[in-house]
Amino acid sequence: MLIDLSEVLSEPHKSIDEVVGTEMKEVKVNGSRFPVSRTQPVHIHVEYAGEKKLHISCETSLTVIIPCDRCLTDVPTDFTLSFEKQVNTALADGEDDGESDEANYIDGYHLDVEQLLYNEILVGWPMKVLCSEDCKGICSVCGQNLNEGSCDCEDTSLDPRMSVIRDLYKNFKEV
Ligand SMILES: [Zn+2]
Ligand SMILES: [Zn+2]
């Protein structure tokens, strides 16, 4: 979704207050693709803020499906985005003036809504996603999801205390 900025940048300056849809279907983070399962209309407000400068505020929320760190089950993860930006359109292609952020979401006289949102999603991307705090993960031997049932493998690697004891035992035998 592109928003035409020419009226805000021209004389007399008109502000933009729009609610737009987004076509965001997935986000790419660290080379992996994550599906976007829910989007909401995006409320965008753009105002003239001095010579070639714009003040942008944006509000929306969306849900991204991120696999659980331990068991890989899909976890719908909500992102509530509400932010403001000051951008210098004159610098969109080049250097930074220190006060505006680099505007990879400004393309000529257009504001790329998806790119703007994407930047914020990256900023808020969780370090770790778990389906539940006490997720048991998957068995490293047979791949069984241990939240759904146990398996017969004698793998103790999930319990660090057990592996310490096992290592001690192994060393003892080798001596
Ligand atoms: Zn899990
Ligand atoms: Zn197993």
Do 163 and 93 reside in the same domain of the chain?
no
Tokens of 140: 């490293």
Tokens of 64: 């991204």
Per-residue model confidence (pLDDT) at position 88: 86
Do 170 and 101 reside in the same domain of the chain?
no
Do 113 and 32 reside in the same domain of the chain?
yes
pLDDT tens digits, residue range 55-106? Answer: 999 999 999 999 999 999 999 999 999 999 999 887 655 555 555 555 789 9
81 located within any domain: yes
pLDDT tens digits, residue range 110-119? Answer: 999 999 999 9
Tokens of 79: 């992102």
Residue 168 host element (H or E): helix 160-174
Do 148 and 117 reside in the same domain of the chain?
no
Do 166 and 115 reside in the same domain of the chain?
no
In the reported structure, the alpha carbon of residue 143 is separated from the centroid of ligand 2 by a whole-number distance in angstroms of: 6
Do 141 and 118 reside in the same domain of the chain?
no
Q: Which ligand is nearest to the CA of 74?
A: 1
Asked whether residue 175 carries a pLDDT value surpassing 50, the answer given is no
Q: What angle do CA 19, 10, 112 make, to 5 degrees?
A: 40
Do 174 and 88 reside in the same domain of the chain?
no
pLDDT tens digits, residue range 26-54? Answer: 999 989 999 999 999 999 999 999 988 99
CA dist., res. 136 & res. 7, Å (int):
55
130 located within any domain: no
Give the DSSP per-residue string, 151-165: -S----TTSHHHHHH
In the reported structure, the alpha carbon of residue 135 is separated from the centroid of ligand 1 by a whole-number distance in angstroms of: 5
Per-residue model confidence (pLDDT) at position 93: 54
Higher-pLDDT residue of 23, 18:
18
Residue 153 belongs to domain spanning: 136-175
pLDDT tens digits, residue range 135-146? Answer: 999 999 999 999
Asked whether residue 130 carries a pLDDT value surpassing 60, the answer given is yes
Do 46 and 89 reside in the same domain of the chain?
yes
128 located within any domain: no
CA dist., res. 51 & res. 118, Å (int):
27
CA dist., res. 54 & res. 111, Å (int):
11
**How many domains, in total, are found in the chain?**
2
66 located within any domain: yes
Per-residue model confidence (pLDDT) at position 155: 52
In the reported structure, the alpha carbon of residue 150 is separated from the centroid of ligand 1 by a whole-number distance in angstroms of: 14
